[in-house]
């Protein structure tokens, strides 16, 4: 790297402690704009009735390539990502932060392979969640419940983290200070109550519309920042130089204190496995989350998601630039200090914008992050609610629930989920939300074999998949618990641990996944030898290739609906809650 030192600019904003009036005004105006858009969203690709999960929870499966691009972009690249990735770069460097770039690149070839099949089979059978598919593939309520609960539990802390993203912005804007607990958290309350209201009324259409605003704001803010800021702090050479110096100084200090040297400028040979497994594991896990599946299934054709696999990387490019803003902040001498006077790396991006830009543009950046939290929070709460109403309420509590009842339960659940996230963030230490989210990533990956392998083969036995899942969950949780933060001495201090047999640090989710698959294979072999039934498969090979406009699908659905109509009067037949005309026949 460069030998000459960068001119360290120390920018001390005069108004760090007070309320930034202009920025706040811009933030509020943009927030009001998306609120109106959120309520108006019911008119977007208007349906005859919103009273079904197909409409409320999947937007009627009508979103084309560009809407899906905005929706998935808004869904996957969350506010928390925008806050946490640069914060990790700022604090400990490339291994902890920049892995997000290879992660969001290898993501797309992976989903290209299986997402079209999941779309088709879900379209044919009206599946709304991955657990629905598992239920249909094996007719096994236990395995389906395992997938559903994992998805639900892993999503909860993720929603909470979106609030952490909003909090970071509000804190830098000067709101949320003081000792009065009501005044302190009132802005967050209001933001979330408004979000809950329009999600309740508009369903998935609300985040689909807001995602346009969010993504456009994010692109503008980051492009402007990346063009303007480097010149202000001495250019990219100076930025990388400052980062290299800081990481070296961090490691020297850690060595002196007898702690592991965990900072990195460019990953050293000890971090190769960690970097690669973090990227791969995160990529495999991301589309197991209910919110990613919801956004994908809302597209109007099996090819929409594949076409998107080649245009969504645009967001990955922006994410990479954003990660580097964490290092721009090092060169700029940004001091991310919370309203409580403590340093907090999570505040580095909002603080950088407040220090370096005119107030109005800082307001636009704050709005981009805050609105960026609303889109994923809405989709996540919808997806978690769908999972609850489909795979827990209808499956276990009220088998004869009608689509309207399902939608009602989902809508109420979406409120409850958000309320829970709010309580979680306000009452518990923020660190808990982060720890649970790390744990959630490890957990959700354990559903990969049951969902993705089953899309291609029924070789795996349902009990093998269930046992593999259980082993992966237990192993992953124990390993994560044993990671102790050397500075604070607390458990769940990170998501990497030694990989047994390889002796390198790696992402715990991947190790647990390998164990999961091994158990699944062994148990499957045993079950096959013992000739234990592998359940009833309600899908046929053609289902995995069906498209919306496939003439055969139309024909078969007509036949299917006729059969359902006859069946509806037959008392022996379990009512399956299909709407006349079928959820799938549009």
What residues from 526 to 555 belong to the interface with another protein (CB under 8 A)?
536, 538, 540-542, 545, 547, 549-552
Query: Residue 35, Cβ neighbours under 10 Å: how many?
Result: 18
Q: How far apart are CA 350 and CA 371, in angstroms?
A: 14
Q: Which helix (H) or strand (E) holds 507?
A: strand 505-507
Counting every residue written for the chain, the total comes to 586
Q: Which helix (H) or strand (E) holds 497?
A: strand 496-498
Residue 70 sits in the site that holds another protein (CB under 8 A): no
Q: How far apart are CA 509 and CA 303, in angstroms?
A: 30
Contacts of 176 (CB under 8 A, 6+ apart): 167, 170, 184, 185, 187, 188, 339
Cβ atoms of 331 and 239 closer than 8 Å: yes
Question: Binding segment for another protein among 9-17, 96-104, 154-162, 194-202 (CB under 8 A)?
Answer: 96-104
Task: Determine which residue in the list 403, 464, 468, 494 makes contact with another protein, applying CB under 8 A.
Answer: 403
As given in the structure block, the two tokens for residue 32 are 């009001």
Residue 578 sits in the site that holds another protein (CB under 8 A): yes
Distance of closest approach, residue 478 Cβ to another protein, in angstroms: 26
Contacts of 65 (CB under 8 A, 6+ apart): 299, 304, 307, 308, 311
Distance of closest approach, residue 119 Cβ to another protein, in angstroms: 12
112 vs 219, which CB is nearer to another protein?
Answer: 112
Cβ atoms of 339 and 353 closer than 8 Å: no
Residue 576 sits in the site that holds another protein (CB under 8 A): yes
Q: How far apart are CA 51 and CA 401, in angstroms?
A: 13
311 vs 412, which CB is nearer to another protein?
Answer: 311
Residue 577 sits in the site that holds another protein (CB under 8 A): yes
Residue located via tokens 């958000």: 418
Residue 215 sits in the site that holds another protein (CB under 8 A): no
* Ramachandran angles phi, psi of 343, nearest 5°: -65, 140
Distance of closest approach, residue 120 Cβ to another protein, in angstroms: 10
Cβ atoms of 336 and 154 closer than 8 Å: no
355 vs 550, which CB is nearer to another protein?
Answer: 550
Question: DSSP letters of 321-340?
Answer: HHHHHHHHHHHHT---B-TT
122 vs 334, which CB is nearer to another protein?
Answer: 122
Residue 574 sits in the site that holds another protein (CB under 8 A): yes
Residue 504 sits in the site that holds another protein (CB under 8 A): no
Q: How far apart are CA 392 and CA 290, in angstroms?
A: 14
* Ramachandran angles phi, psi of 495, nearest 5°: -120, 15
As given in the structure block, the two tokens for residue 251 are 């490691």
Residue located via tokens 């109005």: 360
474 vs 559, which CB is nearer to another protein?
Answer: 559
Within 115-134, the residues that bind another protein by CB under 8 A are: 124-127, 132
Residue 503 sits in the site that holds another protein (CB under 8 A): no
Residue 563 sits in the site that holds another protein (CB under 8 A): yes
Question: Binding segment for another protein among 148-156, 194-202, 235-243, 461-469 (CB under 8 A)?
Answer: 235-243
Task: Determine which residue in the list 61, 306, 418, 462 makes contact with another protein, applying CB under 8 A.
Answer: 306
Task: Determine which residue in the list 70, 77, 90, 98 makes contact with another protein, applying CB under 8 A.
Answer: 98
Task: Determine which residue in the list 55, 171, 354, 564 makes contact with another protein, applying CB under 8 A.
Answer: 564
Within 308-337, the residues that bind another protein by CB under 8 A are: 309-311, 313-314, 316-317, 320, 324
420 vs 567, which CB is nearer to another protein?
Answer: 567
Distance of closest approach, residue 269 Cβ to another protein, in angstroms: 7
> Helices 205-232 and 313-332: crossing angle, nearest 10°?
40
Question: Binding segment for another protein among 218-226, 264-272, 445-453, 466-474 (CB under 8 A)?
Answer: 264-272
Looking from the CA of 482 toward its CB, the CA atoms found within 13 Å total 10
Q: Which helix (H) or strand (E) holds 529?
A: helix 508-529
DSSP secondary-structure letter at 548? Answer: T
Distance of closest approach, residue 550 Cβ to another protein, in angstroms: 6
61 vs 418, which CB is nearer to another protein?
Answer: 61
Residue 77 sits in the site that holds another protein (CB under 8 A): no
124 vs 291, which CB is nearer to another protein?
Answer: 124
Q: Helix H segments across 312-402? A: 313-332, 348-356, 359-388
Task: Determine which residue in the list 44, 212, 272, 453 makes contact with another protein, applying CB under 8 A.
Answer: 272
Residue 291 sits in the site that holds another protein (CB under 8 A): no
187 vs 506, which CB is nearer to another protein?
Answer: 506
Residue 140 sits in the site that holds another protein (CB under 8 A): no
244 vs 355, which CB is nearer to another protein?
Answer: 244
Cα–Cα distances in Å, from 335 out to 16, 87, 279, 305, 349? 10, 12, 29, 41, 10
Residue 361 sits in the site that holds another protein (CB under 8 A): no
Cα–Cα distances in Å, from 523 out to 200, 451, 518? 43, 17, 9
Task: Determine which residue in the list 266, 415, 416, 532 makes contact with another protein, applying CB under 8 A.
Answer: 266
317 vs 459, which CB is nearer to another protein?
Answer: 317
Residues contacting another protein: total by CB under 8 A: 74
By three-state DSSP, how is residue 582 classified?
coil
């Amino acid at each position: 790297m460069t030998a000459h030192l960068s001119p360290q600019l120390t920018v001390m904003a005069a108004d760090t402690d007070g309320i930034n009036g202009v920025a706040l005004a811009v933030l509020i105006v943009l927030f009001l704009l998306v609120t109106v858009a959120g309520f108006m969203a019911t008119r977007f690709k208007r349906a005859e009735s919103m009273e079904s999960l197909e409409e409320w929870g999947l937007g009627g499966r009508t979103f084309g390539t560009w809407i899906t691009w905005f929706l998935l972009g808004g869904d996957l690249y969350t506010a928390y990502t925008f806050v946490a990735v640069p914060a990790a770069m700022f604090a400990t460097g490339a291994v902890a932060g920049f892995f997000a770039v290879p992660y969001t690149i290898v993501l797309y070839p992976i989903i290209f392979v299986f997402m079209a099949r999941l779309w088709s089979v879900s379209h044919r059978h009206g599946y709304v969640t991955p657990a629905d598919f598992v239920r249909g593939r094996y007719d096994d309520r236990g395995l389906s419940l395992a997938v559903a609960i994992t998805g639900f539990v892993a999503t909860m802390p993720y929603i909470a983290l979106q609030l952490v993203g909003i909090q970071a912005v509000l804190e830098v804007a000067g709101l949320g200070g003081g000792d009065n607990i009501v005044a302190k958290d009132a802005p967050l309350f209001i933001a979330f109550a408004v979000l809950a209201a329009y999600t309740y009324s508009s369903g998935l259409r609300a985040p689909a519309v807001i995602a346009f605003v969010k993504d456009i704001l994010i692109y503008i803010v980051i492009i402007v920042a990346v063009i303007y800021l480097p010149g202000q702090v001495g250019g990219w050479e100076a930025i990388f130089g400052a980062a290299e110096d800081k990481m070296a100084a961090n490691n020297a200090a850690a060595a002196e204190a007898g702690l592991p040297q965990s900072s990195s400028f460019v990953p050293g040979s000890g971090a190769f496995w960690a970097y690669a497994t973090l990227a791969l594991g995160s990529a495999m896990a991301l589309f197991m989350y209910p919110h990613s599946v919801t956004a994908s299934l809302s597209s109007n054709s099996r090819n929409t998601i594949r076409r998107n696999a080649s245009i969504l990387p645009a967001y990955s490019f922006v994410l990479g630039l954003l990660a580097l803003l964490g290092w721009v902040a090092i060169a700029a001498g940004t001091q991310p200090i919370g309203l409580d006077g403590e340093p907090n790396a999570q505040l580095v991006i909002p603080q950088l914008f407040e220090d370096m830009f005119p107030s109005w543009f800082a307001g636009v950046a704050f709005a981009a992050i805050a609105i960026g939290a609303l889109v994923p929070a809405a989709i996540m709460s919808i997806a978690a609610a769908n999972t609850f109403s489909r795979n827990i309420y209808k499956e276990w509590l009220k088998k004869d629930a009608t689509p309207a009842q399902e939608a009602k339960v989902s809508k109420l659940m979406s409120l409850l989920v958000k309320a829970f996230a709010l309580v979680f963030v306000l009452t518990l230490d923020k660190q808990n939300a982060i720890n649970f989210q790390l744990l959630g990533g490890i957990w959700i990956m354990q559903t990969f074999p049951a969902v993705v392998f089953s899309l291609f083969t029924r070789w795996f036995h349902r009990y093998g998949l269930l046992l593999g899942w259980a082993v992966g969950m237990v192993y992953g949780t124990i390993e994560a618990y044993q990671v102790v933060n050397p500075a604070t001495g607390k458990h769940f201090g990170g998501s990497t641990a030694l990989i047994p047999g390889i002796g390198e640090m790696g992402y715990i989710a991947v190790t647990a996944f390998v164990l999961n698959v091994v158990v699944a294979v062994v148990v499957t072999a045993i079950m096959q030898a013992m000739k234990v039934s592998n359940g009833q498969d309600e899908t046929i090979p053609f289902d995995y290739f069906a498209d919306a406009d496939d003439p055969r699908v139309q024909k078969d659905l007509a036949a299917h609906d006729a059969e359902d109509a006859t069946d509806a009067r037959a008392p022996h037949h379990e009512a399956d809650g299909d709407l006349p005309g079928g959820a799938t026949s549009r």
